[in-house]
Structure 1
Amino acid sequence: MARLVALYKTPKDVVAFDRYYVSTHIPLAKAIPGLRKYEISDGGVHSPGGASGYHLVATLYFDSVADIQAALASPEGRATAADLGNFADGGVELMLFETREV
């Protein structure tokens, strides 16, 4: 299994971000080929010391990093990536990695 984790930094307008993310960005991302599961954080994103600079964490599940890379290169993946500029004005970090159970 592999994951793509999107760490969204706090936007200028949290309400507008949330509304756009749910109504527009999630449907785009759910169309990405090879996506197995999609989770988002619910409520605030905190660090052990308290508040963090992040507003939302999205975790997308795929079979492999190669599948993530292919998905991002697809028309649906490119459309989803291009959409980030429409709402993620605080910035976003994307992490790709394989996982194993221990």
Structure 2
Amino acid sequence: MASLVVMYGTPSDAAAFDRYYRETHIPIAKAIPGLRRYEISRGPVVTPAGPSKYHLVATLLFDDLAAIQAAFASAEGQKAAVDVQVFATGGAEMFIFDSEEV
């Protein structure tokens, strides 16, 4: 499996972010071809030492890195990427990696 992890910084209006993310962005992202699983954090995102600068973490799982590349080359993937700019007032960091079970 390969993952795309998106870490959203604390937005200027958390309630508006949450509403938009659930009502608008999730349906857009779930249309991305090749998406196998989509998870988001629930509740505060913290570190072992306490609060973090992140409001929400999304993990999107695909078969492999090639599937992620194909997904974001698609019209649906491009629409999701552009949409992030609409609501992520606290910024968004994206990480892509292949993984193995150990």
* Same structural fold, with TM-score higher than 0.5 when normalized by the shorter chain: yes
Which contiguous aligned blocks of 4+ residues in structure 1 show a shift greater than 3 angstroms? none
Look up the match of 1:47.
47
- What is the alpha-carbon distance in structure 2 between the residues aligned to residue 98 and residue 85 of structure 1? 25
Number of equivalenced pairs:
102
**TM (normalized to structure 2)?**
0.99
Cα offset for 1:85? 1.2
**TM (normalized to structure 1)?**
0.99
The one-character-per-residue Cα deviations of 1:12-54 (angstroms, maximum 9, x if unpaired) are 0000000000000000000000000000000000011100000
SS in 1 for 2:11: coil
- What is the alpha-carbon distance in structure 1 between the residues aligned to residue 72 and residue 45 of structure 2? 25
Structure 2 unaligned runs (5+)? none
Look up the match of 1:19.
19
The one-character-per-residue Cα deviations of 1:59-88 (angstroms, maximum 9, x if unpaired) are 000000110011011000000000011100
Look up the match of 1:87.
87
| Superposed CA RMSD | 0.4
Q: Report the AA paired with residue 20 of structure 1.
A: Y
Aligned pairs for 1:47-66 within 5 A? 47-66=47-66
Structure 1 unaligned runs (5+)? none
Q: Does 1:101 align with 2:101?
A: yes
Percentage of matched positions with identical amino acids: 62
SS in 2 for 1:70: helix
- What is the alpha-carbon distance in structure 2 between the residues aligned to residue 39 and residue 62 of structure 1? 12
Q: Report the AA paired with residue 67 of structure 1.
A: A
